[in-house]
Amino acid sequence: MKTRLLALSLIIVLLIAAGCSNTNLNNSDNAGEELKEKDWSDITELAEGSKVRIFMWGGDEGINRYMDEWVAPNLKEAHNIELERVPMDTNEILQKLSTEKRANKEEGTIDIIWINGENFKNAKEFELLYGPFSEKLPNYQNYVDTESLDVQYDFGTEVEGLEAPWGKVQFVFQYDEEKIPTPPANFEELKDWIKENPGKFTYPDANDFTGNAFLRHVLYDAVGGPEKLLENGYDEKVLANHADALWSYLREIQPSLWRNGETYPATLTDLDRLYSQGEVWMTMGYNEARAESLIKDGIFPESTKSFVLDSGSIGNTHFLAIPFNSPNKAGAMVAIDFLMSPDAQLAKYESTYWGENMALDPTKLPEDAQEKLANMDRGASVLSPEKLSESLLPEVDAEYVNWLKEHWVNEVVQKQ
């Protein structure tokens, strides 16, 4: 009896010990290096019949439907690759990767991540990404304007082939036309409108992606345009000179915000909920066509329209990358190339699913795709391409994002 007990304990202890330790003896690193030398046709062959896991933000129904209903079946048909979408916030994905890196785990579970901005900066600095690979992709070579700054730089960080462009989005405000006949045209008018309609406007917390983008708009306005912020990368001096204008604007509107500015929605999803329930009359988002699918699903009222301020709207490119320890790098490259194909990009452009702008250069597209693009109706809530492109503003260094996160609570929320 006692020996049996002893044996049992021993087995359990051994099992635990095995679980605690990390013994990984494989050579996926070498395989990754070899892959860089291979021809594209060999890579496609390698990817055939494999499974690719894409980890991406899952907070938007339209995006999720695009991935599940359009991309997955078509990718299966074109390359016999099975696509599994795992919803996870990007910063948590990076956390997982950095833990795996520290534990020397050479074979992870993630093949593709959707990444952008400060997350890319962190990932690049901590060497969490595989690459350079984007130059190898045929669709990147053929259809992307590889010279343009928004493909070469991601929030001021040089891309260096570590990520491939996937889409472009622009920041717009959404409002209910029945409640607001003429939306404000600039920040001054927005302020007046907020004061005349107390409680009907708010913006998400500075830690939220969208909330931070709104704050950057106010910052641009306070500085007098993004040029000053772009000149020398992150510049403390510019901030020192103009921060007061930024904070005083925000403090001035605060008492007239939703709940008197005592609290802010933690995420864009919360703001959307407030808008859909009619508690606030405006919402916003980093995608000029995002309202379409929400209107279609009955979440937003039919009378939802969008607008941009005269001072412009920030736009940026977002990317796809492969983690350093992806178990299926060949499959990941083929899947990313597929996601950048004109067909996939056009389906993404359609407002039925996602409705966001293409990462490809429209002038480089084949003729039939160009025709399709010209005939596409993006929906009544989406602004015209001319209006959007004339108001496009560039994104600035990711350090400004952090600076806003750090100071917003102290300067605005606490001071009321």
Partner 1 sequence: MKWFKSNNWSLALLPAFLFTFCLVVYGLFMAAQESVTTLNGFSLDAYKNIFDNEAFLESLTYSLRIAFVSTVLSLVLGLLLTKFLFETLNNHLARTVVWLPMLFPHFVWGYMMILLFSQTGWFSTMLHAMSIIDSPDQFPVLTNDRYGIGIILTYTLKEIPFVVLMLLPVYAQLNRDLPNVVMTLGGNKWHVFKTVEWPWLFPVLMEAGLIVFAFILAAFEVPYLLGTTYPKMVSVLAYEWFYQGDWSKRPESFAVMMTVTAIIFGLLIILLSLVSRSRYRMMKGNGM
In the bound complex, what is the minimum distance in angstroms from residue 229's beta carbon to partner 1? 16
Beta pairing partners, 168: 317, 357
* Closer to partner 1 by Cβ: residue 6 or 149: 6
DSSP at 71: I
In the bound complex, what is the minimum distance in angstroms from residue 12's beta carbon to partner 1? 4
Residue 409 near partner 1 by CB under 8 A? yes
User: In this chain, which of 173, 249, 264, 353 binds partner 1, going by CB under 8 A?
Assistant: 264
User: In this chain, which of 5, 25, 240, 374 binds partner 1, going by CB under 8 A?
Assistant: 5
In the bound complex, what is the minimum distance in angstroms from residue 204's beta carbon to partner 1? 10
If you count them, how many residues does the chain have? 416
User: In this chain, which of 22, 30, 91, 186 binds partner 1, going by CB under 8 A?
Assistant: 91
Residue 278 near partner 1 by CB under 8 A? yes
User: In this chain, which of 347, 405, 407, 411 binds partner 1, going by CB under 8 A?
Assistant: 405
Residue 149 near partner 1 by CB under 8 A? no
In the bound complex, what is the minimum distance in angstroms from residue 195's beta carbon to partner 1? 17
CA distance 265 to 328: 39
Location of structure tokens 């060949």: 330
Task: Give the residue among 56, 203, 206, 205 at the shortest CA–CA distance from 116.
Answer: 56
User: In this chain, which of 47, 137, 340, 398 binds partner 1, going by CB under 8 A?
Assistant: 398
Site string for partner 1, 6-25 (x = CB under 8 A): x--x--xx--x--xx-----
* Closer to partner 1 by Cβ: residue 370 or 402: 402
DSSP three-state, residue 385: helix
Calculate the alpha carbon distances from 400 to 46, 153, 217, 227, 301 in Å: 42, 15, 12, 14, 34
Residue 41 near partner 1 by CB under 8 A? no
Task: Give the residue among 397, 388, 229, 240 at the shortest CA–CA distance from 315.
Answer: 388
Task: Give the residue among 81, 84, 90 at the shortest CA–CA distance from 56.
Answer: 90
Of 22-30, 180-188, 349-357, 399-407: span binding partner 1 (CB under 8 A): 399-407
User: In this chain, which of 26, 80, 95, 148 binds partner 1, going by CB under 8 A?
Assistant: 95
DSSP three-state, residue 248: helix
Residue 60 near partner 1 by CB under 8 A? no
User: Which residues, including other chains, have CB under 8 Å from residue 115's CB and lie 6 or more apart?
Assistant: 90, 123, 163, 318, 319, 320, 321
User: Which residues, including other chains, have CB under 8 Å from residue 400's CB and lie 6 or more apart?
Assistant: 216, 219, 229, 234, 239
Residue 118 near partner 1 by CB under 8 A? yes
User: In this chain, which of 161, 199, 301, 385 binds partner 1, going by CB under 8 A?
Assistant: 199
DSSP letters spanning 347-367: HHHSTTTT-PEESS-GGGS-H
Positions touching partner 1 (CB under 8 A) are 2, 5-6, 9, 12-13, 16, 19-20, 91-92, 95, 118, 121-122, 199, 205, 207, 259, 262-264, 266, 274, 277-279, 398-399, 401-402, 405-406, 409-410, 413-414
